[in-house]
Structure 1
Amino acid sequence: MPELIDPTVRLRTSFLAAVAEFHGEPGRPVPWFVTDVDPPALTDPAAFGGYVARVMAERTEAGMRADAAVPMTTLWWADGDQLLGRIAIRHRLTPRLKRVGGHIGYDVRPSARRRGHATAMLAAAMPVAAALGISQVLLTCDESNTASRRVIEANGGRLVGTDGGKLRYLLPTPAQSPEIRKTG
């Protein structure tokens, strides 16, 4: 059964297969998290370990990359040894993130789409956002992105406006704390 987990070197093979799928998808932009992977991490297991450590460190101010706007918690949606997607929860919003990006961004690998993973992944991330002190998550998507609209609305997102071709939704977070499984 799929679940949110911390990024782990254990999923290296599946992660690399997902990266190849994203790069091979015609007519769609490659997600930023795919282009953010250090090139050596794509071939060297030790470098992949460094990539995972960097992603985990981005949860703190001290661990943020120089080009990052805010700390973020990245989690992987996995079923056993299969990476199905990833979700990033931004700990706070900048003026730009209020317009484009919001608190949460997510991607499902092409071979795992149309199976409800994005909807389940977003639902599972909401308690994590609550634990980070976010009482209402802002989610944005392109007006033309019907799939993302459905994911957000299936999770109770309330449309609050549009801005430059982007839809803006608010989604309250639950009160309980999450259980994120640590993997090694």
Structure 2
Amino acid sequence: MPELIAPTVSLHSAFLECHEEWGPGLHEDGFGLRDGDDVRTPEGFAVWVGRRLRLDHPSSAPCPEEQHCTARWIVEDGRILGGIALRHRYDDDLGQIGYGIRPSARRRGLASWALAAMLGEARARDMERVLVPCLANNVASARTIERNGGILESIRHFEDFAVRRYWITLDW
């Protein structure tokens, strides 16, 4: 059975395997990779994971409050299958929840399961609704969001891509 866990340095090799499967770039939504993040070396990975963990705990985070988030990895049998993050503050560009499932683990319902779990976390934080975006051409992600109650607000068009913006109301 898969589980959602906080990022940990003990899964460095599993993370690298997942990252390699995705290929080059920063497109693994839910991991929060940024330009300049060194996840390949043990030292760089420890710094990156430490930053992710600190973002989880606002009282000890040395970063701006608007960056606080709850990050979780989707793990099964020691393999990282994907990641999901809930931003504690509203972000009009990134939305409040981002997730990604590695290609070999797709079509198993993992994204829907992880999104439902993260919606529970949002409820626990007394959020009334969350914005969940996905690329406009990602039909599987759009269905995942819709299955979890997402209502399409709009499609924003940019120079090279378009993004669907869904709101999910958190019923109490």
Per the TM alignment, residue 80 of structure 1 is displaced from its structure 2 partner at its CA by 3.2
Paired residue for 1:53? 50
Alignment of 1:126 with 2:125, yes or no, is: no
Asked whether 1:168 is paired with 2:165, we answer yes
Are 1:42 and 2:35 matched, yes or no? no
CA RMSD between the two structures = 2.6
Return the offset for 1:73.
1.3
Give the TM-score normalised by structure 1. Answer: 0.77
**Range moving further from structure 2, 147-156 or 52-61:** 52-61
Structure 1 residue 17 displacement after superposition: 0.5
Report how many aligned residue pairs link the two structures: 165
Residues 36-65 of structure 1 deviation map (CA, whole Å, 9 limit, x = unaligned): 5732x4232x54333222111123276265
Contact 1:10 1:81 in 2 (8 A): no
- Residue 150 of structure 1 deviates from its aligned partner by 0.8
Q: Specify whether residues 35 and 168 from structure 1 end up closer, same or farther in structure 2 by C-alpha distance, changes over 3 A only.
A: closer
Partner residue of 2:95 out of 89, 102, 107:
102
What is the CA-CA distance between 1:161 and the residue it aligns to?
2.7
Q: Which amino acid aligns with 2:169?
A: P
**CA deviations over 1:121-151 (Å, ceiling 9, x no partner):** 1111111112223121111122222111011
Equivalent in the alignment of 2:72: 75
Q: Does 1:31 align with 2:24?
A: no
Which stretches in structure 1 are left out of the alignment for 5+ residues? 176-184
Query: Which of the pair has the greater relative contact order for Cα pairs under 8 Å at 6+ separation?
Result: 1
TM-score, with length taken from structure 2: 0.81
Q: After the TM superposition, which segments of 4 or more aligned residues of structure 1 sit over 6 Å from their partners?
A: none
Q: 1:106 to 1:38 in 2, by over 3 A?
A: same
SS of residue paired to 1:159: strand
Q: CA deviation at 1:152?
A: 0.3
Gaps of 5+ in 2: none
Which amino acid letter does the alignment assign opposite residue 14 of structure 1? Answer: A
- One-letter amino acid of the structure 1 residue matched with residue 109 of structure 2: G
Q: Does 1:156 align with 2:149?
A: yes
- CA distance in 1 between partners of 2:125 and 2:137 (Å): 30
Task: Answer yes or no: is 1:92 the counterpart of 2:89.
Answer: yes
Identical positions, percent = 36
